Each structure stands twice: as structure tokens, then as C-alpha cells.
Amino acid sequence: MTVPFPAIAIEVKPGWVPKLVTSGRFQAWICIGCGYTEFYASGIEGIEQIAKEHPGRLRIVDAGPPKQGPYR
């Protein structure tokens, strides 16, 4: 059996019974010849709302080009 794993998993209520917020699932594409693997996240439409509700736990990084200077 294969079990998909969530793209986002945040424990938001630590304690005896933690509450886990999840969003999306990862898909893996694997080359059988060389083993090269790519991961893609799907079903992450609610990620912006989770980031707003838990700003200290999840941060969305803009992948657009930098306004100036090197990206890193």
C-alpha cells in the first residue's frame, strides 16, 4: 500500500492531543533508469489561508525574480 504524504503539516496545538493542520499532497516522478526524482505538490489551494492563520509556523516565499541584487 502507498500512503500519500501531505505537502504541509503543521502542529498548531501542542499538548496531550496535538491538532495537525495539513494541506495538499506530494507526487513523486522517478526515472527508473537513473533514479532522478522530482516532487510536485498538488491540492495546495488553501495554503495562503493557513499561512495567514499561522504566520509564525508557515511562510510563503515568492518565487518571482528579485527587484534588485542576487536572489539569494
For residue 33, the model assigns a pLDDT of: 95
Summarize pLDDT for 31-49 with one digit per residue, the tens.
999 999 998 888 888 888 8
In 1-72, at which residue ranges do the beta strands (DSSP E only) sit? 8-11, 20-23, 25-30, 37-42
Distance, in Å, from the CA atom of 43 to the CA atom of 25, rounded to the nearest integer, reads 6
Summarize pLDDT for 1-35 with one digit per residue, the tens.
567 788 888 887 766 777 888 888 988 889 999 99
Q: Is the pLDDT of residue 72 over 60?
A: no
* Residue 64 C-beta-side C-alpha neighbours within 13 Å: 4
Is residue 31 classed as helix, strand or coil in its secondary structure? Answer: coil
Average pLDDT over residues 47-52: 86
* Cβ-based neighbours of 65, under 8 Å, separated by 6 or more: 71
**Sequence letter at residue 18:** P
